[in-house]
């Protein structure tokens, strides 16, 4: 029998955000000590240079015992890399989530991937789809965050010399190993702090890492499709795919049938 997710000193909804902020700071410091060889040429760590909006998100919206913790892969260049919020498309973070804080610059920037924070004129497709779906289905952030919370498995963005985005699953295994160990540990801490019924990987990579990191914890792990524009299926209608995946996990009823009530734990 798997052990129950343990309570921590941050076991109440009131301070779940503080527990996540502590995990975030420890992870940020540990990741700063790592080095990455080619093809990685630039590493952005928004947990450091975008700490203010990142922690504002955690403190404003994290609550204990959500139905599901949604776990993305890592920041995109026009989302979390700009705002510090997972899938953090600027307009939706500012106007729907109600977060706008100063953002500094990473120590080294690729000239094609400058960080402008909330002044960034670009819109990240994945973030627009995910938070747009949340807004469409739940109406208000309060209703969404009573049921769900969103984090990224890895907080780092990797670029090659040309400025091309490198996702963690594309990194050489010897370079990725220490980073994955740190991110696994941080995910376990997040799950222990929030105590969700389900952990849902947004995409195959996040699901795989969650299953490994949480194998000995009493939490259900599932998957929903990633909203990336690189996915032909997502481009044909990601919201319907997301609804279907969450319905199959018992977490949502599709539009027209209402939002599923939280299951008893």
| pLDDT tens by residue, 153-175 | 999 999 999 999 999 999 988 88
**Strand segments (E) across the chain:** 42-44, 68-72, 148-152, 157-159, 165-166, 198-202, 220-224
| Alpha-carbon span 180 to 175, nearest angstrom | 9
Domain residue limits, the chain: 13-248
| Alpha-carbon span 183 to 258, nearest angstrom | 35
For the cut 90, the answer to whether the pLDDT of residue 55 exceeds it is yes
Q: Are 57 and 99 in contact (CB under 8 A)?
A: yes
| Alpha-carbon span 192 to 16, nearest angstrom | 10
* Among 44-58, 111-125, 248-262, the least confident range: 248-262
CATH number of 13-248: 3.40.470.10
The arithmetic mean of pLDDT across residues 224-244, rounded, is 97
The pLDDT, as a whole number, for residue 253 is: 83
How many H helices and E strands in the chain? 11, 7
Question: 10 Å Cβ neighbour count for 15?
Answer: 18
For the cut 60, the answer to whether the pLDDT of residue 4 exceeds it is no
User: Which of 37, 26, 45 is closest to 176 using CA atoms?
Assistant: 37
Q: Structure tokens of 96?
A: 């729907």
What does the longest C-alpha to C-alpha distance in the chain come to?
Answer: 52
For the cut 50, the answer to whether the pLDDT of residue 6 exceeds it is no
For the cut 70, the answer to whether the pLDDT of residue 152 exceeds it is yes
Helices 204-213 and 173-194, axial angle in degrees (round to 10): 70
The pLDDT, as a whole number, for residue 258 is: 52
Q: Structure tokens of 27?
A: 């992870």
For the cut 50, the answer to whether the pLDDT of residue 262 exceeds it is no
Q: What is the pLDDT of residues 129-145, one digit of tens each?
A: 999 999 999 999 999 99
The pLDDT, as a whole number, for residue 2 is: 56
Q: Are 251 and 244 in contact (CB under 8 A)?
A: no
Phi-psi group of 90: left, alpha or beta (phi > 0 → left; psi -120 to 50 → alpha; rest → beta): alpha
Question: 10 Å Cβ neighbour count for 10?
Answer: 22
Q: Are 63 and 57 in contact (CB under 8 A)?
A: no
Residue 152 forms beta bridges with which residues?
72
Q: Are 22 and 51 in contact (CB under 8 A)?
A: no
Burial (CB < 10 A; 0-12, 13-18, 19+), residue 247, is: middle
* Share of residues in the chain with pLDDT > 70 (%): 90
Q: What pTM was computed for the model?
A: 0.92
Q: Are 72 and 199 in contact (CB under 8 A)?
A: no
The pLDDT, as a whole number, for residue 137 is: 96
Q: Which element (helix H / strand E) includes 186? A: helix 173-194
For the cut 70, the answer to whether the pLDDT of residue 256 exceeds it is no
């Amino acid at each position: 029998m798997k052990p129950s997710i343990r309570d921590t000193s941050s076991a109440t909804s009131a301070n779940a955000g503080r527990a996540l902020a502590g995990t975030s700071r420890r992870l940020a410091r540990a990741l700063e000590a790592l080095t990455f060889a080619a093809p990685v040429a630039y590493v952005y760590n928004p947990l450091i240079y975008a700490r203010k909006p990142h922690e504002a998100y955690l403190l404003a919206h994290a609550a204990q015992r959500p139905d599901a913790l949604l776990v993305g892969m890592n920041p995109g260049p026009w989302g979390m890399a700009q705002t510090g919020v997972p899938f953090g498309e600027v307009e939706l973070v500012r106007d729907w989530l109600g977060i706008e804080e100063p953002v500094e610059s990473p120590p080294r920037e690729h000239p094609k991937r400058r960080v402008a924070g909330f002044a960034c004129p670009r819109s990240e497709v994945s973030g627009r789809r995910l938070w747009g779906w949340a807004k469409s289905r739940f109406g208000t952030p309060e209703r969404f965050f009573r049921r769900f919370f969103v984090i990224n498995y890895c907080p780092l963005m990797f670029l090659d010399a040309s400025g091309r985005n490198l996702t963690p699953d594309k990194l050489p295994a010897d370079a990725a190993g220490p980073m994955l160990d740190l991110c696994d540990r941080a995910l376990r801490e997040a799950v222990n702090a929030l105590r969700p019924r389900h952990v849902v990987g947004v995409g195959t990579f996040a699901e795989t890492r969650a299953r490994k990191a949480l194998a000995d914890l009493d939490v259900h792990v599932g998957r929903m499709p990633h909203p990336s524009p690189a996915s032909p299926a997502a481009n044909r209608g990601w919201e319907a795919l997301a609804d279907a995946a969450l319905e199959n996990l018992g977490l949502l009823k599709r539009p027209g049938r209402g939002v599923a009530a939280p299951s008893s734990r």
